[in-house]
Amino acid sequence: MSIDIRPENRPPGVEGAGFFATSLDTVVGLARANSLWPLPFATSCCGSEFMATMASHYDLGRFGAERLSFSARQSDLLMVMGTISKKMGPVLRQVYEQMAEPKWVLCMGACASSGGIFDTYSVLQGIDRIIPVDVYIPGCPPRPEQVLDGILKIQELTKNESLRRRNSPEYKEMLASYGIE
């Protein structure tokens, strides 16, 4: 069986005899994008699709993100999947706050994104009411291919993010709008 291994495309930079120079932002972004440590916050059925994404057929490890973390302090990608009740909201927010910067949030499925079919008094109508979200994955449930697509979109964000973004007034203002310091 042949294995098709393709290296990451070389970032833009300056090349000469025996050297290649690029920006620090680019190198750090490349490293971050290919070594995401997801924290799966799965409460219901969407979590099963995530399990399929982790298994051998879809194999999230191909994207460097197979190292799941169940500790908020050792993860940089919060993946929220499933129905989030209003009672669960403060727990989710605490998990988000415990994660160190830089961190990203992937919101998977109709329930986490908008409450889905559960338009009831007890269900949070979208996690973006309590924490900022970077990428949404639509569907009920989304297929593993969609989860992989969401991860690729997170990778694009991480690759292209300036190292200064997290210290910018705009970022702090965005967090403040959620009541997060």
Footprint of ligand SF4 (CB under 6 A): 44-46, 82-83, 109-111, 116, 140-141
Closest separation between CB of residue 127 and ligand SF4, Å?
Answer: 12
Comparing CB distances to ligand SF4, the nearer of 44 and 125 is 44
Closest separation between CB of residue 179 and ligand SF4, Å?
Answer: 26
Comparing CB distances to ligand SF4, the nearer of 46 and 127 is 46
Comparing CB distances to ligand SF4, the nearer of 47 and 132 is 47
Closest separation between CB of residue 43 and ligand SF4, Å?
Answer: 7
**Beta carbons of 59 and 40 less than 8 angstroms apart:** no
Comparing CB distances to ligand SF4, the nearer of 45 and 175 is 45
Closest separation between CB of residue 114 and ligand SF4, Å?
Answer: 9
